[in-house]
């Protein structure tokens, strides 16, 4: 069964084509690493996929999209804003419900930062901010994860912990990753982009780091 099946994907900036036209069919259970050198089109492709599947996905954009003045709790809660009434969301801004607080605290604990629950995201480090965006995606609890370099600001052990949590937490994922070892360890399919076209598409168990490095 397909998680999504997209064709005719294209993107241009200032009249210059940077993606496609290309097609991408993703089956449930596939965890895809999007790889390729800087400028190959990975972020643009993640954005295009999100535009097409939108509400059915959890998104971790490269720029994170956090509201700096709000505490970590509220930034994570935003993952479910469209699932609740205006009344529920407004009340949560003032006095969050115990069940939501517990769920968010548990997610943050998994990501090694439960003590930051009520800290404004403005005062967090880059790696902590990245984990808030990841917690927001996990809290959304969609079956499909779309993520753009979600562990780029994390140290080695934390990057592994987060990649494991993401592969356990989502049935299907498409993750732009520049770390080839993480791609091979946590994703079961590798899609390589070159100048906005798919130049490599195979299962991880049939690829080595050297095969992937040929794209760079």
**Burial classification of residue 114, based on how many CB atoms lie within 10 Å of its CB (0-12 exposed, 13-18 middle, 19 or more buried):** middle
> CB of residue 13 vs ligand ATP: minimum separation in angstroms?
3
- Residues in contact with ligand ATP by the rule CB under 6 A: 13, 18, 36, 38-44
Q: What's the half-sphere exposure (Cβ side, CA atoms, 13 Å) at 53?
A: 28
> CB of residue 183 vs ligand ATP: minimum separation in angstroms?
13
| Residue with smaller CB distance to ligand ATP, 36 or 79 | 36
Q: What are phi and psi of 208, to 5 degrees?
A: -115, 170
> CB of residue 205 vs ligand ATP: minimum separation in angstroms?
25
> CB of residue 17 vs ligand ATP: minimum separation in angstroms?
9
| Residue with smaller CB distance to ligand ATP, 12 or 68 | 12
| Residue with smaller CB distance to ligand ATP, 44 or 128 | 44
> CB of residue 111 vs ligand ATP: minimum separation in angstroms?
23
Q: What is the DSSP string of 115-140?
A: GGTTSBGGGS-HHHHHHHHHHHHHHH
- Under 8 Å between Cβ of 196 and 41: yes
- Under 8 Å between Cβ of 22 and 11: no
- Under 8 Å between Cβ of 151 and 163: yes
Q: Specify the residue for token string 């956090």.
A: 66
> CB of residue 195 vs ligand ATP: minimum separation in angstroms?
9
| Residue with smaller CB distance to ligand ATP, 78 or 177 | 177
- CA–CA dist 72, 91 (Å, integer): 17
- Under 8 Å between Cβ of 72 and 132: yes
| Residue with smaller CB distance to ligand ATP, 92 or 130 | 130
| Residue with smaller CB distance to ligand ATP, 38 or 85 | 38
């Amino acid at each position: 069964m397909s998680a999504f099946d997209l064709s005719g994907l294209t993107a241009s900036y200032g009249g210059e084509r940077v993606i496609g036209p290309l097609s991408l069919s993703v089956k449930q259970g596939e965890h895809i690493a999007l790889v390729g050198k800087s400028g190959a089109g990975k972020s643009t492709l993640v954005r295009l996929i999100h535009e097409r599947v939108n509400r059915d996905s959890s998104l971790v954009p490269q720029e994170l999209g956090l509201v700096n003045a709000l505490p970590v709790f509220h930034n994570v809660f935003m993952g479910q804003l469209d699932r609740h009434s205006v009344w529920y969301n407004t009340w949560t801004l003032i006095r969050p419900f115990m069940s939501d607080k517990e769920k968010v605290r548990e997610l943050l604990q998994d990501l090694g930062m439960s003590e930051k629950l009520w800290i404004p995201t403005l005062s967090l480090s880059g790696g902590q901010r990245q984990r808030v965006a990841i917690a927001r995606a996990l809290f959304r609890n969609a079956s499909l994860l779309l993520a753009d370099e979600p562990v780029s600001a994390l140290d080695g052990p934390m990057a592994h912990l987060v990649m494991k949590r993401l592969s356990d937490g989502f049935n299907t994922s498409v993750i732009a990753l520049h770390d080839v070892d993480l791609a091979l360890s946590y994703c079961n399919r590798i899609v390589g982009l070159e100048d906005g076209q798919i130049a490599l598409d195979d299962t991880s168990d049939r690829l080595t780091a050297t095969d992937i490095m040929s794209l760079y």
